[in-house]
Structure 1
Amino acid sequence: RTAAERGVQAAIILTAHLGEGPGSPWAQVEAAARAHGLRILGPHCLGVIAPHARLNASIAAHFPQAGDLALISESSAIAAALVEWGVARSVGFSAVVSLGDTMDVDFGDLLDYFATDYRTRAILLYVEQIKDARKFMSAARAAARAKPVVVVKSGRAERVQPGSADTHVQALARADDVYGAAFNRAGLLRVSALDELFTAAESLGRLGTFPGRRLAILSNGGGVGHLAVDQLIALQGTLAQLSDSTVQKLDAVLPQGWSRSNPVDIVVDADGDRYATAIEALLADSENDAVLVVNVPTAFTSSADAAQALTRTLGLRPRHHRDKPVFAVWLGNDDQATATLNAARVPTYPTEAEAVRGFQHLVRYREAQSALMETPPSLPQDFSVDTARARALVEGALANGQGWLDPLATHELLKAYGIPSAPVLHARDAHEAMDLAQPLLERG
């Protein structure tokens, strides 16, 4: 209260267990802050870190380096873990904010801020629960139009416990399905694990969106190529087909025994020139939308030469082929090859599984962006509603002090909106139930 009266504009409350209800410390803090417009972050939060401003108002163990990723986490432990992850891998942040129990400042406020923050290239969210859905959706849609927003949400398998559910259907429903639909509608990219937050941000940061979802895979080892296909199918991706002209081009330059299909196995002794020729053919093939290039180190060839061949080919490709994304997996720790690929801004992954996941991130992000720009009509053209009847049903139930519509009124409400439903009849006794059931039984 003293801080608010003296004009302090924001406070971070790290403390947990402020209670609830009238008279609790929570209620007193909320009232004192609201009276003077003091914004509250927390309580029960890690705090705020803003590396570019050299601000560390947190209880994190380490101070991350400055970067272009904004992290907003509901959980203090997750925020602290991700800071440690970033420090260990030299991943920088524009800001790290822990919301805690969200008395006041929430996801919507921070999404609005980071959407226009010039230091932030992408926004990472860790979500447990959205309390103000309307505010969140509005802020999320606006932010997703400006930059990539990647979200991971916990509690995917949780259901409402039957004992605490208000209806049978509520006990069967999964809240996670609702969150998934909302994230997709807002144009956010949802991932399933914490490490995917950074993988997705890396993919989106290095490559723009692209039309299509067909992936061509090139490798000097058949086994790794087939593992990539397995991962692609598991993630519901689409494997590209090679055009006849591309097969003919590759037949002319590759040794006998190459796969003649996707994945393109250019044989274990493939040198840089063979890589370059095969990559050029796949980039020119209109039957694929992206190319994944895999290199397995062998005694026959140099991984560094293969990396140079890839980047050289990308630099020489015609302008109309430059929007096609290329992903790389260079197995083995070849620092020279990795440096070559990084210098050319080719997204490089340690395994074929992570590379395919990165490709699918871009596909799903583009689909989410397309959905974001769609504006569905408020009602289908062939849809008529008896609004007066529906309003009368609801107003009648409210006037009677009902918390729920009874089955008969629910059936009538569905009919008013043209929604088919099984007929509901009210019987006052067993004999009337038999009479009402007879026509239904006769219809089978």
Structure 2
Amino acid sequence: MHDIKSIRDNPQAFDAGLARRGLKPLSASLLAIDERRRAAILASEQAQARRNAASKEIGDAKKAKDEARAAKLMAEVAELKTTMPELEAAAKAADEELTKELSAIPNIPFDEVPDGVDEHGNVQHHVFGNKRSYSFAPKLHDDLGTALGYMDFEAAAKLSGARFVVLKKGLARLERAIGQFMLDLHTTEHGYTEINPPLLVRNEVMFGTGQLPKFEDDQFWAIKGELLAAPDHERLKTERLGLIPTAEVSLTNLVRESILDEKQLPMRLTALTPCFRAEAGAAGRDTRGMIRQHQFTKVELVSITTPEVSKDELERMLSCAEQVLQKLDLHYRVMTLCAGDMGFSSQKTYDIEVWMPGQGDGGMFREISSCSVCGDFQARRMDARSRGPDGKPRFVHTLNGSGTAVGRALIAVMETYQQEDGSIAVPSALQPYMGGLKVIARE
């Protein structure tokens, strides 16, 4: 959420930031609403002050036995009593209108973020490793998994429809191993605290991290049976719970509506959870295999920091996510996203794209992690603050990143470590989690 005072102080900079996001100028319309809001608040406060003063004057007039003045003042108070609710309602309506408008506007990119309208404007930051060479034509992960008999899309479709998968035996264990390996790495070597958060959250929690109101259609929603029996649209919407699209939602909101001691910061949290995305905006994209699923597993990284160190924390978070792929010896590149390709809440984002040799003609880089710094954008939506040595509360800065997407790491391992006979070699870093198993082959 944006600070209207900041927009008031520098509307040109705000509009320039929106232009980099591909949006039209909005400062004038926002400031017009703000002006109405401030005028309504002032009128309401003045009316209240006058009512208080007039009430006191009535007492003075009665003491002085000035009945005419007392009657006039009483009539004024009665009129104020009638008009004050209207003034308060006008102030509330203007405030709600301003909040609604601000809540739908994305964060402003840092100056250092490259310009661009989509992924074609992203800039390569650095590369790790090299493409592997194979004496055979590498296969797609779904061809490998189906041939092994351990990846079943047809069974999943019978259970849940498209964009679901059933993993079995060696591949089911490999996915579990990857998630546990990541979690252990981040907690034991990178200083993150493991959290097991709820998977179902309230509307205000989705709002806090920016899923609502703009991306409502991209979420899955859980409705209590009693509400379905007597449908009431407004009550359904109010009492529903959202299935988290990422543990960022639960982890970041752990500090909502609170004032932290800055000695507690930076707060670094991680979780391994199922995630759920309706993918309403991705119809027709990546329909084959496990690249884009409605249900997937991910290790999430979240940091809560002070403004002074949030940029440095982004670099640290990126390094933590990269080490996952380095220890798995997977070839990848890091991209700095352009202003037009960043997520709604982000000020700056790095994407890690892992090389998948079975994708496309000769392999392809696919996104496996995004690490973003959001400044105080989410903190304002959550009312999450900290108190420093001066005792004054201020909004915290939040960051989030994938550490990494487990399903995509699974298919990257499958495609990278595939053997000519269709078996999958298990990376050495994962073998302790696989009971020492070195190769996944059809039984």
TM-score by length of 1: 0.19
When you count strand as a share of all residues, which structure comes out higher? 2
TM-score if structure 2 supplies the norm length?
0.19
